[in-house]
Chain A
Amino acid sequence: MTMAESKEAQKPKVKRKEIAVININEEWCKGCDICVQICAKDCLRLNKWSKVEIIDLEACNKCMLCEILCPDFAITVR
């Protein structure tokens, strides 16, 4: 599992929302694009190997939709 606890998580923020911890399991991700399209905050995208990757962790509002709708147990949000 690749941990994606972004360095930027340390930065002080205006809104004091907790930054999400998003785990992606690249071995299991099949690149179906569901999480990418479902995310209203555009936090995710597919990379060139068709695996999901995080592009904007800060934007994540922990709506959990990506986790709940990922068919492959490949992404979790805490």
Chain B
Amino acid sequence: MSNAITMVEAVNLALHSEMRRDQSVMVLGEDVGVNGGVFRATVGLRDEFGMKRVMDTPLAETMIAGLSVGMATQGLKPVAEIQFMGFIFPTMEHLIGHAARMRHRTRGRLSCPLVVRVPYGGGIHAPEHHSESTEALFAHIPGLRVVIPSSPARAYGLLLAAIRNPDPVLFMEPKRVYRLNAQPVEDSGETLPLDTCYTLREGSDITLVSWGAMIKETLEAADRLAQQGVSCEVIDVVTLNPIDHNTILASVDKTGRCVIVHEAPKSGAVGAEIAATIAEKGLLSLQAPVARVTGYDTVMPYYRMEHHYMPSTADILEAVNTTLEFS
């Protein structure tokens, strides 16, 4: 029997589990060692695996990414932590220009099996730059997988899969739900599949598509709608690159209606790709416009006003109702 644990504990469990199984897994980043990470995601690793495998780095994100590329090509499996999504930009030259193309560039001679873990998203009353959701910047990069779990169990199984994956993975952790909704997670060492959507709830009237922390509000909305007799299919996209469009298209083919929910600013976000694919391949299924419930196209406000920015359950309900009423 396994105890109920939170998402951040599930991340920690997966790291322990995989580091025990595979000597080549390394953890590196700012404050990941003695301190166990600013969110405690790496707590205990240093004690168990020593400072050779759990490395507190100097403060330099470009360096963290560049070191990881170097290590990964030599048979190690670095799992780097970037402390907050707002500080990930200095890694981009290495992730885009090297990690995502090392296998391609060398026609398979070298590869770059690294994982970059990064907490993202708003809602924890943090300072500036600590609440962003910029997954779209990475999901557009060929060769770079982007994975976001939305529950403790999925965090565990997907992180294992990300680490075992032979290619680079950006593993984004929705910190707003780091400590919500504990659930039993068995330390089975079993992975969950990447590159596939997870249908969290089946339904027939409308398809709700989301990922990460917004799954919480999306499921809440689905619950409320169920009470009103509306049957929602809820899809957690999970892998934002490459996207499993087939699952979404099949669902929209069934329901004819779709609402996409994400925290990132609307324009050019991953929701756009999903809506565009429906417009391209699922047009005839559509009985209503594809709605997007998203953050605004403005800077994430400082914490006092951030709740005005984040999509709410009420917003989802409003969009669903508009979509259902459309004819």
Q: Do A and B bind each other?
A: no
Contact surface of B with A, Cβ cutoff 8 Å: none
